[in-house]
Chains A and B, each alone.
Chain A
Amino acid sequence: MIEIRQLSKKYKGAEDFSVVDLSLKIEDKEIFGLLGPNGAGKTTLISMLCSLLKPSSGSFAINGLTFQENKNELKQLIGIVPQEYALYPSLTAFENLSYFGSMYGLKGTVLKNSINEHLETLGLTRFANKKVNTFSGGMKRRVNLIASILHHPKVLFLDEPTVGVDVQSKNVIIDHLRLLNKNGTTIIYTSHHLNEAENFCSRVAIIDEGRIISEGVPKDLISKQENAHNLEDVFLAITGKALRDHA
């Protein structure tokens, strides 16, 4: 379980908080969607939960562990799929995965089997020995995902895992995430694809200006919102139609 207590983040030099007093509980084996317009604070929240950013105040625990007390144990427990392709372009898919798998302590046959298994499921076996810089966006996204799940994390954070990919790649990624969840992985993910989130997530939270403004099962949120037929209607009704440009 992930328990977030009054978590806040204000960047150095910024006038406003990016995340404000945010409290949230995510149960084991949930697929939890963090939705919100640009600059709402989704990535900041995920970055804090993955130890990439230091919170200004508040705290959180993942399966009862904190980064302050159980850093390496917690890192072994989680996986993160960053928004950018966090891969070495001049290395092959297999070499990238082998390296990042090793960083989780995997080695030998265990590592090799884990890589081959995931490459197979995500349709990349025949490209295993090709350099990543020759891959399409969809292929890179899939390798990016595999690099984060080789060690079978209990909790998986995904920041826009399907952004900029074709429909086929998106389906393969979502199907694989469902499989991981079925096998016991808790998934927390951010996305701008509201239809995808509506179908994929067991629960969502809509964040705006660093605060949760709505939270619940997608179907419940749709039924509660007047004239809403889908999650996008709910989203626009709650967050408004004004552009959210930030510089």
Chain B
Amino acid sequence: MHKLLASTYKEALLLSRDIGGLAILFVMPLVLVVTITLIQDSTFKTINDTKIPVLIVDNDKGTVANHILEGLKDSGSFDVIMSSSEEEVEAMVFKGEYQLAIIIPNQLSTDLQKKINQNVEGILSKFGLEDEVEPIFTTEIAHKEVRLYFDPATQMTFKNSVKNGIDKMISQIETQSIYKAFQEQLGEEDEAIFDTGSFISFREIVLKKDDKEMMPNSSQHNVPAWTLFAIFFIIVPLSINMVKEKTQGTFVRLRTNPVGYATVLGGKTLVYLCVCLVQFTLMLLIGVYLFPTIGLPELDVSGRLPLLYIVALFAGLAAIGLGLLLGTVAKTQEQSAPFGATFVVILAALGGVWVPVFVMPKFMQALSNISPMNWGLNGFYDVFLRNARFVDILPEITLLLLFFLITSIISIVYNERKNAV
């Protein structure tokens, strides 16, 4: 026990003497979480301060075009800029000057109306209601297309949401036109006989706590994810610390001392675990106190702190286990630092920090299940967003603990075998 305490004290001293390293350990994760939350906050806001400029070439000038333009303006997400030349907007978008251009074709409104009239007349004639007038089936109305230009650098998710939005607007106007055509054909132009409003509506039912709806915000999504990312980044300084001991010669001295490798690792574990918890505390403080002052939603930690710290503790242990293993195996800083940093990014990607696990391919989803960052992230989401109790996070924290034990045991066995005499 005395040797473990001495090792812990030594590690604490080493860390406290490295002011630059400490600053990186504590300041960079804070910068990261603030930056990412600021960027991603827009996706959670219904009314966005930042509008995406969209170029429109209106060759129609009719009701459909007006409906699309109104829809874009009303969405609050787009700044509509009118243009007259398709060639011009194409060039601007493909150069990346604009993300999106919409070309509304000539006579879209009139041709749509004609097409609907044809269809309605055809239907009514089948019912014998249109025998007085000869149906106009002879005119072939050309298919119309609304052309969309996207900046090649635009992400697929943005493209899809724009396409879906425009598709919805056109469907609405088609529906309304169909109702209107029926009304005209039935000779009831003055009085509305159809309710053209949506019959089916959607309502999101959210989790309730104490009869209060728990609406997740960007802080509650981003703080856990990026805190976990920062916690796992501890493997870089930890492995560098261990490799330094090898290159300084102090590890050689320790090998001749009557002290077990487990004790040496124990000292490191205790100190770096404290670092993880301090990091986590700073993240929470930022979320609770700084976020509201810079226009971000406040991080709600009420009633959740004990469980949050439990998840952070076990996530920290898992990260430290990985750092100990890397530090044990690596021979140089050139091996440990780039590998550590890259590996954390891979684990984060697999863990669902950037892209939700459910949208990943099956194979990647299976891989995600063995990523400690995924277990940690699920643990945090359980507490933050799913109102979980201790038993609910037990599977995740058990996996994180097992990961720490396994990586630590591998480190000890590897070291013993390598240095066996």
Which residue of B7, B256, B259 is within 8 Å of A80 (Cβ)? B256
Which residues on A sit within 8 Å (CB–CB) of B7?
A: 99
Which one of A13-21, A47-55, A176-184, A213-221 contacts B?
A: A47-55
User: Main secondary structure on chain B at its contact with chain A?
Assistant: helix
Is A95 touching B258 in the complex (CB atoms < 8 A)? no
Inter-chain contact B252/A103, CB cutoff 8 Å:
no
| Contact mask for chain A residues 87-105; partner B; CB cutoff 8 A; 1 contact, 0 none | 1111100010011101111
B253 part of interface (Cβ distance < 8 Å): yes
Quick check: is B40 within 8 A (CB to CB) of the other chain? no
Closest to A95 in B: B13
Q: B2 contacts A82, CB within 8 Å?
A: no
B265 CB to closest chain A CB (Å) equals 14
Q: Smallest Cβ distance from A89 to chain B, in angstroms?
A: 7
Q: How far is the CA of A131 from the CA of B10 in the complex (A)?
A: 14
Q: How far is the CB of A87 from chain B (nearest CB, A)?
A: 7
Q: Which positions 18-70 of chain A face chain B at CB distance < 8 Å?
A: 48, 50-55, 67-68
| Neighbouring B residues of A54 by C-beta, 8 Å | 420-421
Residues of B within 8 A of A50 (CB): 256
Question: Contact residue range for chain B?
Answer: 20 to 34
Residues of A within 8 A of B9 (CB): 99
Across the interface, do A52 and B256 meet the contact criterion of CB distance under 8 Å?
Answer: yes
Contact with B along A162-177 (1 / 0, CB 8 A): 0000000000000000
* Contact flags B1-21 to A (C-beta < 8 A → 1, else 0): 011001101100110011000
A1 at interface (Cβ–Cβ under 8 A)? no
Q: Does A135 contact B (CB under 8 A)?
A: no
| CA distance in complex: A115, B18 (Å) | 25
The reply to whether the CB of A107 lies closer than 8 angstroms to some CB of chain B is yes
| Chain B 307-318 interface 0/1 with A at a Cβ cutoff of 8 Å (1 = within) | 000000000000
What's the Cα separation between A68 and B249 when bound, in Å? 24
Q: Which residues in B have their C-beta under 8 angstroms from that of A158?
A: none
- B248 beta carbon closer than 8 Å to chain A: yes
B3 near A105 with CB under 8 A, answer yes
Q: How far is the CA of A190 from the CA of B3 in the complex (A)?
A: 31
A147 (CB) vs chain B CBs: closest residue: B253
Please, could you name 20 A-B residue pairs with CB atoms under 8 Å apart, sorted by A?
A48-B421, A52-B252, A52-B419, A52-B421, A53-B421, A72-B258, A75-B256, A79-B256, A80-B256, A86-B250, A88-B10, A88-B14, A88-B248, A95-B13, A99-B10, A102-B3, A103-B3, A104-B258, A107-B2, A148-B253
- B interface residue numbers (CB < 8 A to A): 2-3, 6-7, 9-10, 13-14, 17-18, 248-250, 252-259, 419-421
Complex A-B, nearest 6 residue pairs according to Cβ-Cβ distance, in ascending order: A102-B6, A86-B249, A86-B253, A75-B258, A103-B257, A84-B249
User: Apart from A87-B250, A91-B17, what are 12 other A-B pairs with CB-CB below 8 Å?
Assistant: A52-B255, A54-B420, A80-B256, A84-B249, A84-B252, A87-B248, A91-B10, A103-B257, A103-B258, A104-B257, A105-B258, A147-B253
